[in-house]
Amino acid sequence: MRPLRTALLTIAALLFVAVVVGLYRSGPALAKEPSSRQIERGRTVAQLGGCDHCHTPVKLDPALGLPVPDRARELSGHQAGAPDPATSLSGKDLAVIGPTFTSFNVPLGTVYASNLTPDPETGLGAWNETLFIRTMRTGRHLGAGRPVLPPMPWRSIGDASDADLKALFAYLKSQPPIRNAVPPPKVSTEALDKLGRSYDALVQRDAPGRVGDP
Ligand code: HEC
């Protein structure tokens, strides 16, 4: 009896190890790990897409006499407590930009650039590439929520290829997380509903094929 039991236990142990090793080697987390080439491509897409322009606050460089990106706050959006634009729109203006280039008065209200760093609570930490692509293709938060407000250029970003958008997302995810809770936009629910319906009609008219999943 003894040798048989030992043999069976040994086989069971070997099988267990084989399954664990197999799962580990073919695991989805491992297979999906972005390559450094993909991240580099994403960095280029982000540079050309000008994400930095609105999502990194600027501060005045006194020596240059120019507003320059605050690199310590790279891509972390409008900082909690930072100022709104000081003036409201006049005439047919479409936007007034606040002093850090992250707050915007638009005809619908005041909008703040989001935190694009991978912080789990205040940034994109909980997003995945599918949700990111859906957002850019539909103009709706995570593909189904409230409309993404101007001046966020989701339409032109959403025109990029799946591969470029996946690389862009991989690059954003590779950045250091910065905790910064961006305030919600000051826009009425009615205005959001109306804009959302207009976006849906726009996407249906101009690019009905692109709302499918990547
Ligand atoms: C002209 C300014 C501007 C540029 C350029 C810009 N954004 Fe934005 N972005 C915004 C603003 C403002 C918001 C907040 C919109 C809102 O609250 O609905 C935003 C929101 C977002 C969101 C959050 C959307 C959501 O549903 O929560 C993501 C993701 C995003 N931008 C990614 C990018 C990426 C990636 C780039 C570059 C390829 C980029 N943005 C370029 C202004 C900009």
Distance, CA 52 to ligand 1 centroid (Å)? 10
Lowest mean pLDDT among 68-72, 119-123, 197-201, 204-208: 204-208
pLDDT in tens, 121-141: 999 999 999 999 999 999 999
Determine the average pLDDT of the residues in 93-104.
Answer: 98
Q: To the nearest whole number, what is the mean pLDDT of the chain?
A: 90
Closest by CA to 158, choosing from 54, 45, 34, 44, is 45
pLDDT in tens, 39-50: 999 999 999 999
The reported pLDDT for the residue numbered 210 is 72
Closest by CA to 115, choosing from 102, 101, 128, is 102
Q: Name residue, tokens 């994403």.
A: 42
The reported pLDDT for the residue numbered 13 is 55
Distance, CA 77 to ligand 1 centroid (Å)? 9
| Cβ of 141 below 6 Å from ligand 1 | yes
Q: For the chain, give every domain's residue range.
A: 34-211
pLDDT in tens, 142-171: 999 999 999 999 999 999 999 999 999 999
CA distance 69 to 46: 15
